[in-house]
């Protein structure tokens, strides 16, 4: 089988969550003798263009004749059985699917976000609060409230891509054979905006554990937060809620709220800022910790750090939003709480802190769930099944 796998990096080939999944999924396919061709573009290319080039990109962000021609030539040479796109915003554009359809190549789109449902792609306001106005109302709301980083220009780009994709390209229904989502929650949202149920497949992400032999690793008495220090990640609420918890909390990561977070935590001897770490170091740190705190205030799509914690054999206490209830079995592999209820958060956190046996039991259950659902081998079998069924079927 030959698969052309495509990804449009948001900037400078950065390794965010989507990029990590794209690269690791490509390597996973190669490891199983699937012939893979990676097609990569980066929005950082736009910054290097002159004014005319930038304007051209603006008007072609939903459809690029250059991409249609260029990827068509690549397909003619490589002759893939399947085109699998992880992200097409802004340079690749949906026109890559047209190149594949012209050559009778089956097409797959993984939705790492909610962009087909709302223009901002994440169901949240600039302050990290959940918002579904654009899904059920007028998507012009993104312009009125400048939901994309407070920028009118960025918000307009998101709005234009959404409108053109929704109305001009009919939600890509004529171009994409199968939509892959990461959770049943995301599938439900996608069906609500008009994508047929039989065109959607659920395939969660996967992670590699950094080591084997989880039971021999000594756990330290500490909780861990891993993520970008921004409103939607709930870092400020976490620090405020930790003011009455006398237990070490390590914050791994950086972001626009770093200084504000440090100021808010000033005087609390139990909060430590560990800065950025590479992925392997994060996994090792998790393995040696007691539990992960995941206070995100928006839906998210998967949460790789939750999977990494499960692989490390430690429980997670997380907000009960989006797909978290699918990933964490409340009271079995971790604990869920209402993000607007600090009393519930402190009560459940203290139950983990004060009961080491409970942490160990939940950690083992989380590790078992990881082995059943989120390992590379399990993920490969799901993906191969999607490809195989697609290749041996008529148009869905």
Residues 366 and 381 in one domain: no
The parent domain of residue 195 ranges over 2-112+177-206+376-391
Residue 14 pLDDT more than 90? no
Given this model, what pLDDT does residue 368 score?
97
Examine residue 325 and state whether it is found in any structural domain, yes or no: yes
Residue 210 pLDDT more than 80? no
Q: Which of 7-21, 127-141, 319-333 has the lowest mean pLDDT?
A: 7-21
Residue 300 pLDDT more than 70? yes
- Smallest CA-to-CA distance from 201 within 177, 178, 171 is with 178
For the record, the structure tokens of 325 come out as 């209830």
Residues 357 and 380 in one domain: no
Examine residue 293 and state whether it is found in any structural domain, yes or no: yes
- Smallest CA-to-CA distance from 157 within 44, 60, 86, 232 is with 60
Label residue 396 by pLDDT band (50, 70, 90). Answer: very low
Given this model, what pLDDT does residue 15 score?
66
Label residue 166 by pLDDT band (50, 70, 90). Answer: very high
Residue identified by tokens 């796998």 is 5
Residues 92 and 197 in one domain: yes
Residue 213 pLDDT more than 70? no
Residues 64 and 196 in one domain: yes
Residues 10 and 34 in one domain: yes
Distance, CA of 16 to CA of 294 (rounded, Å): 18
* Tens digit of each residue's pLDDT (9 = 90 or more) over 35-70: 999 999 998 888 888 988 888 888 898 999 999 999
CATH of the domain at 75: 3.40.50.2000
Examine residue 163 and state whether it is found in any structural domain, yes or no: no
* Tens digit of each residue's pLDDT (9 = 90 or more) over 241-288: 999 999 999 999 999 999 999 999 999 999 999 999 998 899 999 999
Label residue 87 by pLDDT band (50, 70, 90). Answer: very high
Examine residue 140 and state whether it is found in any structural domain, yes or no: no
Q: Which of 3-12, 88-97, 184-193, 308-317 has the lowest mean pLDDT?
A: 3-12
Residues 200 and 343 in one domain: no
94-99 mean pLDDT: 98
Distance, CA of 357 to CA of 348 (rounded, Å): 15
Examine residue 8 and state whether it is found in any structural domain, yes or no: yes
Residue 334 pLDDT more than 90? yes
Given this model, what pLDDT does residue 217 score?
66
Given this model, what pLDDT does residue 250 score?
98
* Tens digit of each residue's pLDDT (9 = 90 or more) over 169-208: 999 999 999 999 999 999 999 999 999 999 999 999 999 9
Residues 361 and 321 in one domain: yes
* Tens digit of each residue's pLDDT (9 = 90 or more) over 351-381: 999 999 999 999 999 999 999 999 999 999 9
Residue 295 pLDDT more than 90? yes
Given this model, what pLDDT does residue 321 score?
96
Residues 12 and 88 in one domain: yes
Given this model, what pLDDT does residue 294 score?
98
Q: Which of 8-12, 287-291, 369-373 has the lowest mean pLDDT?
A: 8-12
146-159 mean pLDDT: 89
**Residue 393 vs residue 40, higher pLDDT:** 40
Secondary structure (H, E, C), 34-91: CEEEEEEEECHHHHCCCHHHHHHHHHCCCCCHHHHHHHHHHHHHHCCCEEEEEECCCC
Helix-, strand-, coil-residue percentages of the chain, each rounded to 5: 45, 15, 40
Q: Give 198-241 as a DSSP string.
A: GGEEE-------S-S-GGGSPPPS-EEEES--SGGGTHHHHHHH
Residues 15 and 101 in one domain: yes
Examine residue 356 and state whether it is found in any structural domain, yes or no: yes
**Domains in the chain: how many in total?**
2
| CB 274, CB 252: distance < 8 Å | yes
Residue 212 pLDDT more than 60? no
Residues 301 and 383 in one domain: no
Given this model, what pLDDT does residue 73 score?
98
Examine residue 369 and state whether it is found in any structural domain, yes or no: yes
98-108 mean pLDDT: 98
For the record, the structure tokens of 109 come out as 């789109």
Residues 286 and 380 in one domain: no
- Smallest CA-to-CA distance from 93 within 154, 168, 151 is with 168
Residues 90 and 234 in one domain: no
Examine residue 75 and state whether it is found in any structural domain, yes or no: yes
């Amino acid at each position: 089988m030959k698969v052309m796998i495509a990804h449009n990096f948001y900037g400078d080939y950065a390794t965010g969550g989507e990029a990590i999944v794209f690269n690791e999924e490509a390597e996973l396919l190669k490891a199983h003798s699937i012939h893979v061709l990676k097609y990569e573009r980066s929005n950082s290319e736009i910054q290097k263009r002159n004014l005319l080039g930038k304007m051209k990109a603006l008007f072609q962000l939903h459809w690029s004749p250059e991409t249609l021609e260029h990827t068509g030539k690549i397909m003619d040479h490589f002759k893939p059985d399947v085109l699998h796109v992880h992200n097409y915003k802004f340079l690749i554009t949906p026109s890559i699917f047209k190149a594949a359809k012209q050559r009778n190549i089956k097409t797959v789109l993984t939705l790492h976000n909610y962009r087909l449902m709302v223009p901002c792609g994440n169901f949240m306001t600039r302050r990290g609060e959940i918002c579904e106005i654009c899904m059920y109302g007028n998507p012009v709301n993104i312009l009125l409230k400048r939901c994309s980083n407070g920028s009118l220009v960025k918000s307009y780009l998101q709005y234009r891509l959404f409108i053109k994709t929704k109305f001009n390209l009919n939600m890509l229904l004529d171009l994409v054979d199968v939509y892959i989502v990461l959770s049943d929650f995301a599938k439900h949202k996608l069906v609500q905006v008009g994508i047929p149920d039989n065109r959607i497949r659920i395939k969660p992400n996967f992670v590699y554990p950094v080591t084997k032999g989880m039971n021999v690793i000594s756990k330290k008495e500490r909780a861990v937060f891993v993520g970008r220090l921004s409103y939607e990640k709930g870092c400020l609420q976490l620090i405020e809620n930790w003011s009455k918890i006398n237990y070490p909390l390590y914050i791994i990561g950086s972001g626009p709220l770093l200084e504000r977070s440090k100021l808010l935590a000033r005087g609390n001897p139990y909060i430590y800022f560990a800065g950025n770490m590479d992925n392997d170091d994060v996994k090792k740190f998790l393995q040696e910790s007691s539990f992960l705190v995941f206070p995100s205030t928006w839906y998210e799509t998967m949460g790789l750090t939750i999977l990494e914690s499960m692989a490390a054999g430690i429980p997670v206490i997380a907000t009960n939003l989006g797909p978290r209830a699918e990933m964490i079995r409340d009271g079995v592999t971790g604990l869920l709480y209402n993000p607007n209820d600090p009393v519930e958060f402190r009560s459940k956190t203290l139950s983990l802190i004060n009961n080491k046996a409970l942490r160990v039991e939940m950690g083992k259950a989380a590790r078992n769930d990881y082995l059943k659902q989120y390992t590379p081998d399990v993920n490969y079998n799901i993906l191969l099944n999607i490809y195989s069924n697609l290749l041996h079927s008529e148009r869905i």
